[in-house]
C-alpha cells in the first residue's frame, strides 16, 4: 500500500455555511473545468508561489527567539544543576543559530505544498466576488471563484500517517500578534516534552556523543532529552511556517490546504508531478475533493466573474456540473446538497 492515501470524506450532515462563510478559490475557466472534471485541486510547492519569501519568514530571529524564550520560561525548575547548566548553554544566544540549523535541516527531507483560498473580510462584501482576486487570479480572462464549506473540506483532505500531514489552516500576517503566539506555543510544548522525558528518566546509550569531551552521564542525558524534545515539539514547524505571510498580502485574508510530506514518501507514492509555471518547472500534487459525493461534497457555490457574457457562462457551468453528476441549488436555500451558480455584480472589464 502506498505511503499516502487520501481519506474518503466522513459521512456527515452537510455544513450550513452561508456564502460569506465559505472559502473561495479563484481560478480561470480552464482551471474551473479541470477541477470539476478531474474532481481534484492542485496544491503547489510553496517555493513557487507569487510571494518569493514564502516559507522563509518563519525562520527569522523574532520567531526563533519567541520559541526559545517560551521554552526557557516553561522548563521545570527542579532539574539538577548539571541539567540546568546544559539547558542554559543550549538556549544561550550564541547557540541559537545551531538550533535554527537543526530545524532548517528538516526542510531537506520534507516537501510542503499548498492550495490557496480567500475568506470573508467581514466588510459586508461578498468574498466570492472580490475585485482584487479577479485581477490577480483569473489571468486576464474569464474568472470563476469556487466556494467550499471549510468543515467539509477539512474532512475531505484529512490525512495523517507516517508519510504526510494535511490540514486546512488560516494564514497569519506578520505584525498582527497571533503569528508570534504560534512559535511561543511550540516552545512551551518543547518544555513539556523535556519534562516528560526527565520524569521518565530513560538511560542514554554509552555511545551517545556530545561536543563536550568530558560529558558526564547526567550531561548526556540532559543534552539528549533537549534534542528529542525540540525535535518533537517542532514537528509542526513547517505546517506553521506555511501560515506566515508578509503583511502586504493581508487583504487576501487567506486560508490554505497545507500538506507536508517526506520527500521519500512523495516519491514512492508517485503523487508528485511537475508542470510549467510562471516561475519555472513547478512541483505539485492533485488533492481529491469528493465533489460527486452527495451530502458530503465541500463545494457549495461558484461565482462567474466579471465579463461580457456572464449569463452564458452561468448556463455553461450549470451544464458542466450536471454532466458530472452534481446537483444545483438556488441562492435562497443556504443549506442542503448541491452547488449554487451565481454571477458577479462588479461592473469590471479587463480590456
Count of beta carbons in the 10 Å neighbourhood of residue 216: 11
- Burial class, 168, CB count within 10 angstroms (exposed 0-12 / middle 13-18 / buried 19+): buried
The C-alpha angle with vertex 165 and arms to 36 and 20, in degrees rounded to 5, equals 50
Domain residue extents for the chain: 21-49+110-174+240-343, 57-108+176-239
pLDDT digits (tens, 9 = 90+) for 193-226: 988 888 888 888 878 888 777 778 888 888 888 8
Position 3 scores a pLDDT of: 41
Burial 275-312 (b: 16+ CB within 10 A, else e): eeeeeeebbbbbbebbbebeebbbbbbbbbbbbeebee
Burial class (CB in 10 A: 0-12, 13-18, 19+), 97: exposed
Mean pLDDT of 83-105: 77
Q: What is the pLDDT of residue 17?
A: 55
The gap from C-alpha 156 to its chain's centroid, in whole angstroms, comes to: 14
Grid coordinates 528518566 are at which residue?
A: 201
* pLDDT reported for residue 336: 61
If we measure between CA atoms, which residue out of 208, 213, 239 comes closest to residue 226? 208
The secondary element (H helix, E strand) that includes residue 279 is none
Sign of CA dihedral 225, 227, 229, 232: negative
**Closest by alpha carbon to 299, among 67, 3, 28, 32?**
32
164 Cβ contact partners less than 8 Å away, ≥ 6 residues apart: 3, 4, 259, 260, 261, 262, 265, 266
Beta-carbon count within 10 A of 254 CB: 20
pLDDT at 323 over 80: yes
pLDDT tens track for 155-165: 998 876 656 77
Higher pLDDT, residue 252 or 4: 252
β-pair partners for 56: none
Task: Give the pLDDT confidence of 31-55 residue by residue, as tens digits.
Answer: 999 999 999 999 988 877 766 566 6
pLDDT digit string, tens, across residues 288-307: 999 999 889 999 999 999 98
Per-residue pLDDT band at 8 (split at 50, 70, 90): very low
Mean pLDDT over the full length of the chain: 81
CA distance 32 to 285: 17
Percent of the chain surpassing pLDDT 90: 29
- Using alpha carbons only, how large is the chain's radius of gyration in Å? 24
Q: What pLDDT sits at residue 107? A: 59
Cβ contact 261:268 at 8 Å = no
Task: Give the percent of the chain with pLDDT over 70.
Answer: 86
Question: What is residue 44's DSSP assignment?
Answer: E
| Residues 34, 17: Cα–Cα separation, whole Å | 25
Amino acid at each position: 500500500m502506498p505511503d499516502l492515501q487520501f481519506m474518503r470524506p466522513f459521512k456527515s450532515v452537510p455544513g450550513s455555511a452561508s456564502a460569506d462563510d465559505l472559502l473561495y478559490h479563484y481560478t480561470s475557466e480552464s482551471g474551473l473545468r479541470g477541477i470539476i472534471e478531474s474532481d481534484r485541486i492542485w496544491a503547489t510547492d510553496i517555493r513557487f508561489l507569487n510571494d518569493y519569501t514564502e516559507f522563509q519568514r518563519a525562520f527569522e530571529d523574532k520567531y526563533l527567539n519567541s520559541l526559545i524564550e517560551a521554552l526557557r520560561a516553561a522548563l521545570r525548575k527542579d532539574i539538577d544543576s548539571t541539567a540546568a547548566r546544559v539547558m542554559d548553554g543550549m538556549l544561550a544566544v550564541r547557540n541559537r543559530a545551531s538550533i535554527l540549523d537543526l530545524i532548517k535541516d528538516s526542510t531537506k527531507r520534507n516537501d510542503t505544498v499548498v492550495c490557496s483560498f480567500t475568506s470573508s473580510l467581514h466588510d459586508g462584501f461578498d468574498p466570492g466576488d472580490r475585485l482584487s482576486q479577479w485581477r490577480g487570479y483569473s489571468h486576464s480572462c474569464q474568472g470563476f471563484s469556487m466556494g467550499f464549506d471549510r468543515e467539509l473540506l477539512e474532512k475531505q483532505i484529512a490525512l495523517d500517517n507516517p508519510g504526510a500531514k494535511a490540514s486546512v489552516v488560516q494564514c497569519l500576517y506578520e505584525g498582527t500578534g497571533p503569528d508570534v503566539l504560534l512559535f511561543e506555543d511550540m516552545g512551551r510544548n518543547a518544555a513539556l516534552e523535556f519534562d516528560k522525558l526527565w520524569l521518565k528518566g530513560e538511560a542514554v546509550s554509552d555511545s551517545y556523543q556530545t561536543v563536550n569531551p568530558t560529558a558526564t552521564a547526567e550531561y548526556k542525558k540532559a543534552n539528549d532529552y533537549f534534542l528529542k524534545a525540540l525535535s518533537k515539539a517542532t514537528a509542526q514547524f513547517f505546517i506553521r511556517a506555511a501560515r506566515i505571510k508578509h503583511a502586504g498580502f493581508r487583504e487576501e485574508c487567506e486560508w490554505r490546504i497545507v500538506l507536508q510530506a517526506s520527500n521519500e514518501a512523495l516519491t514512492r507514492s508517485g503523487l508528485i508531478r511537475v508542470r510549467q509555471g510562471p516561475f519555472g518547472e513547478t512541483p505539485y500534487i492533485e488533492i481529491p475533493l469528493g465533489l460527486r459525493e452527495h451530502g458530503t461534497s465541500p463545494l457549495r457555490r461558484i461565482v462567474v466573474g466579471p465579463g461580457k457574457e456572464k449569463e452564458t457562462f452561468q448556463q455553461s457551468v450549470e451544464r458542466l456540473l450536471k454532466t458530472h453528476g452534481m446537483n444545483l441549488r438556488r441562492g435562497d436555500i443556504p443549506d442542503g446538497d448541491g452547488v449554487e451558480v451565481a454571477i458577479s455584480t462588479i461592473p469590471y472589464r479587463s480590456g
